[in-house]
Structure 1
């Protein structure tokens, strides 16, 4: 078993089980900062037991800021077992915050839930990955673990909660259509043909709006996972293959080695300019839209939407989604708000932590 670094300080909060944070990157660091802010305001929070990244597990016996600094400074590991799997164990009633994008971590979600450990996640590879895993997450919650996934779509917008409440109330969801990528929303809202699209991609990447490799965002795969989460919450148990994805990445850029990506971003420019001019001449706007229709299929693609469409008025990294149901048949229910950023994601994660702790403080 690897050694766990321990730092002395008082634990924070007194409510429910303990918190364990997986992931100390941009989102994980924002979770620590948000936790500190809430604690200073007197919000009753579960105590923070430990945090972990792929290199080390650090117990909270000092300030959280010191703990996360220690995690960041830890050397790379050569073993195959992650530190959180062989370090201090989790117990029933504890709350795992998954601030990673790790398929390995997502694979543990059903296991933790079945053991009565709550999971709060921004990782879409749980509910938005393989359908077998998504169903296992639903089934495992019968064992007592609760699942907080509001940060997986819309960075905490009440979209998932609304869908589930509508379904629970007997409403039937006919379709959900939305702009679910803050990074692509930012890019397309600024693209007006005065600059090459590739310049905007570089700006978005350097500002942290896209992944370091922007092909992750431009491929539409992240949006596919978000749409799967929404569809499954609506009662449509889709497989990943049921969602047709039209990537923005041309072949020359798709096949580039990581160190060639920047030089090949110009391959985006001519196709996107042509799409923009066609939309402009039709009084339309380019939007990267995800949509599923109950019984008809699902798709993720760049579309030219008329200016009257409720999805068009979004700006920057906003997410917007329209829900069509028995109740909202003629005029959809529209949800909009900030859909990207570490701070709003961290706030959504800790909102779920508080909901779980207040619902079952002695779980």
Structure 2
């Protein structure tokens, strides 16, 4: 007797589009990465539009043309950003936040509540105000998903790993890490053969550091990343609870933007002294963020013995050590490239794909 295998019902077609906020270095890298994936035949949601603080542009047939148009648009003096009054997002869409805007981050919970997925490199969502971070968690209960792997480690599986450990019943006691690719690059290159300020200029010009390098040197970027990791571990830290030791001397901190370059030399003497002290003690300078459930949280420059798990690595590598019930005697260490527009764009689109293929 022959048997007939019933046909499975066809899967419903996927709906939803992707929209990009931010057309700077990272946003441009997202567009290029999206194009590469499409050429390789990777299934991606259609691109609806992209926007910056000046204009919203329909994606059309050529994303490169659209982003060039957005980047060349004149500055807008309107009180409402173009993405808030232009073509709106709908349930099932995915918005990519490639900005560093507090205003955009403030919309993350609202989008999630409306069923719009959010993928972000913007650390001011989960790494800003605690109430906002909690609102993002609550809003996801409505079914929309939040992809934030690009906010720490430029896509290293650090955040996902911590969340999986917690979901599996492990308790995180502490996490410490070299979390700034910019500072990792600077400190791995510095050997007292040239002034530290020269390296800062080189990092800025190469795109490893922000145009105003004080943003990296102040430690504020690492503070935000540490907040994201702590909150993912179940520790509801506020920003004020993290002690930050900035590398920025007063003269540089107070300089007008146009005077920053001339004041970078104020970094040289303090860094040289700390480097020589570390060198004499067989140690390596690393800019480390650490939270400890019992001892608090801090960010700053440390001289680590060469045997320390964070003292290895080169270039822009991020390195993080996780101490938990499961990893108490020897930490779980995650290491890999942690800076650059291309790795950040890849992390953003990885999150887009995870959301898109899980629908």
Pairwise same-fold verdict (TM > 0.5): yes
In the aligned structure 1, how far is the partner of 2:218 from the partner of 2:79?
29
- SS of the aligned residue for 1:290 comes to strand
Matched with 1:97 is 96
Matched with 1:211 is 210
- SS of the aligned residue for 2:335 comes to strand
Q: Could you tell me how far 1:16 is from its partner in structure 2?
A: 3.8
Q: Could you tell me how far 1:196 is from its partner in structure 2?
A: 0.8
In the aligned structure 1, how far is the partner of 2:312 from the partner of 2:86?
48
Q: How many equivalent residue pairs?
A: 347
Contact 1:99 1:121 in 2 (8 A): yes
Matched with 1:73 is 72
Higher-Rg member (1/2): 2
Structure 1 runs (4+) deviating above 2 angstroms are none
In the aligned structure 1, how far is the partner of 2:224 from the partner of 2:168?
25
In the aligned structure 1, how far is the partner of 2:351 from the partner of 2:14?
14
In the aligned structure 2, how far is the partner of 1:259 from the partner of 1:198?
16
Matched with 2:278 is 279
Contact 1:23 1:51 in 2 (8 A): yes
In the aligned structure 2, how far is the partner of 1:37 from the partner of 1:199?
35
1:85 is aligned to 2:92: no
Task: Write out per-residue CA displacement over residues 272-303 of structure 1, whole angstroms, 9 at most, x where no aligned residue.
Answer: 01100110000000000000001321000100
Matched with 2:220 is 221
Q: Could you tell me how far 1:358 is from its partner in structure 2?
A: 1.3
Contact 1:15 1:44 in 2 (8 A): no
In the aligned structure 1, how far is the partner of 2:59 from the partner of 2:185?
37
In the aligned structure 2, how far is the partner of 1:16 from the partner of 1:320?
38
Task: Write out per-residue CA displacement over residues 41-72 of structure 1, whole angstroms, 9 at most, x where no aligned residue.
Answer: 11110000000011110112221111111111
In the aligned structure 2, how far is the partner of 1:353 from the partner of 1:211?
26
Unaligned runs of 5+ in 1: 1-13
Unaligned runs of 5+ in 2: 1-12
Q: Could you tell me how far 1:145 is from its partner in structure 2?
A: 1.4
Query: Mapping of 1:250-329 within 5 angstroms?
Result: 250-329=249-328
Task: Write out per-residue CA displacement over residues 178-231 of structure 1, whole angstroms, 9 at most, x where no aligned residue.
Answer: 000000000000111111111111111111111000000000000000000000
Matched with 2:237 is 238
In the aligned structure 1, how far is the partner of 2:42 from the partner of 2:318?
29
Task: Write out per-residue CA displacement over residues 67-98 of structure 1, whole angstroms, 9 at most, x where no aligned residue.
Answer: 11111111111101000000001000000000
Q: Could you tell me how far 1:15 is from its partner in structure 2?
A: 4.3
In the aligned structure 1, how far is the partner of 2:341 from the partner of 2:195?
27
RMSD: 0.8
In the aligned structure 1, how far is the partner of 2:346 from the partner of 2:15?
19
In the aligned structure 2, how far is the partner of 1:272 from the partner of 1:89?
49
Task: Write out per-residue CA displacement over residues 103-136 of structure 1, whole angstroms, 9 at most, x where no aligned residue.
Answer: 0000000000000100000000000000000000
In the aligned structure 2, how far is the partner of 1:259 from the partner of 1:69?
27
Q: Could you tell me how far 1:143 is from its partner in structure 2?
A: 1.3
Query: TM-score, normalization: structure 2?
Result: 0.96
Q: Could you tell me how far 1:167 is from its partner in structure 2?
A: 0.2
- Which stretch shows the higher mean deviation, 101-110 or 53-62? 53-62
Task: Write out per-residue CA displacement over residues 291-337 of structure 1, whole angstroms, 9 at most, x where no aligned residue.
Answer: 00013210001000000001111110000000000111011100000
Matched with 1:162 is 161
1:347 is aligned to 2:353: no
